[in-house]
Amino acid sequence: MTYDSVDPTCSSASPVIKAPRFFIRRQTPSRLHPAHPVSRILSNMLPSIPETKTTVKLIPNFLFLIALVLLGSSSLLAADRGTLVREAIIYISPDATSNKLGQVERGRELILLDKSRNWLHVEALLGSANAPDPAFVLEDDEQEKTISGWILDTGIVWATTPNGDRILFGAAVDAEDEASRRHGRRGAAQDALRLYRRVYDIFPAAPLAGEALYRAADIRWQIGKADMQSRPSAREKEAYIRGEIDEQWMKQVIKKFPGSKWADLATFHLIDNKLCGEWQGSSKCPDKEADLYEKYAKEHPTSPAAPEALYNAASRRAALIEIYKTEDQAKKSEQAKNAAIAIAQQLIAQYPQSDWSSRAQTLLYLVQQSVPTYGNEIQ
């Protein structure tokens, strides 16, 4: 699924993007150390008079009360983390007639601070009201602010919500579908990105966590790729000149879910950063790119992207047939033809049910018929 970019600023090919700021983490002590033996120490230092002894005996009790307060605060700060599957207004007090502090979008993280009847006191991260189209702005690129206020206790998924991971995943799918429509809801792509990410953030051990994290990374990658391709530098032959799409989230998928098909797909995406902008009629680019795709297919034979990788390799070998001719390298042209045929046949035999297999069949036919697949020549 792809999204049309409108002056994207979310994840560009060249700027370095800061680490995603999705959570508001609070470091709370895992345990409270017992009070020091203050009474024993002080009783040895002070005169043995009733008033002093009475005061000393109160100190451990006072420390104990402090410990209880701190423990209660720790429990509160470590309270539920959740997210919205709807847009919500955040109010200054638990009253719909009170002043509005802002609007919280789908997928924004909430930290529960307190409850009052059907109202929740939360801390939320709000996006910038001055940002461009929020569908193409990433959380870590926005001028965001954290705000505390009250929202109605509806449409919020917590870590304790039954089937919470599936609820969030379904909401993300709906948002992604909305984003794909011509006149879909404004900001739907960004909603989908956040909601997918929250599945992993809140339910990291859920069966859907790996796919959700990959889908979030995929949306971010598509937006970044559209941004990169919209720049004049996208036409540069050398990849290092046009900059890179931010790889952080794709690498996180690979790290968190190694050996999974989601890691395989993330690895496939990373090839984009190694491709040339335009070949400019040079054999160097398609030859290098064919090697990259062949290597991927060999190392990830069970990946859902393996058939596409083989097709990309075969199509580049086929293009080299004509390119080598323009460079007066007849022998290499013939070698490229044989390689294109072999890779296409491998794809057809190894992945017969894939759509890429049918496309490979067409490519194979054209190469065998000596029909050019690159250039403007018409026979």
Render pLDDT for 325-345 as a digit per residue (tens, 0 to 9). Answer: 999 999 999 999 999 999 999
Structure tokens at 221: 């990658």
Residue whose token pair is 């160097």: 284
Band of the pLDDT at 80, cuts 50, 70, 90? confident
Q: In sequence order, what are the beta bridge partners of 91?
A: 100, 150
Range name among 87-101, 125-139, 351-365 with the lowest pLDDT average: 125-139
Residue 188 identity: A
pLDDT of residue 379: 63
Q: What is the mean pLDDT of the chain?
A: 80
Band of the pLDDT at 232, cuts 50, 70, 90? confident
pLDDT of residue 243: 76
Ranked by mean pLDDT, the top range of 11-20, 128-137, 355-364 is 355-364
Check: CB of residue 373 under 8 Å from CB of residue 318: yes
pLDDT tens digits, one per residue of 235-251: 676 766 777 899 999 99
Phi, psi of 84 (to 5 degrees): -95, 140
- CA-nearest of 322, 232, 210 to 278 is 232
283 vs 66: which has the higher pLDDT: 283
Q: What is the radius of gyration, based on Cα positions, of the chain?
A: 29
Check: CB of residue 157 under 8 Å from CB of residue 165: no
Q: By three-state DSSP, how is residue 289 classified?
A: helix
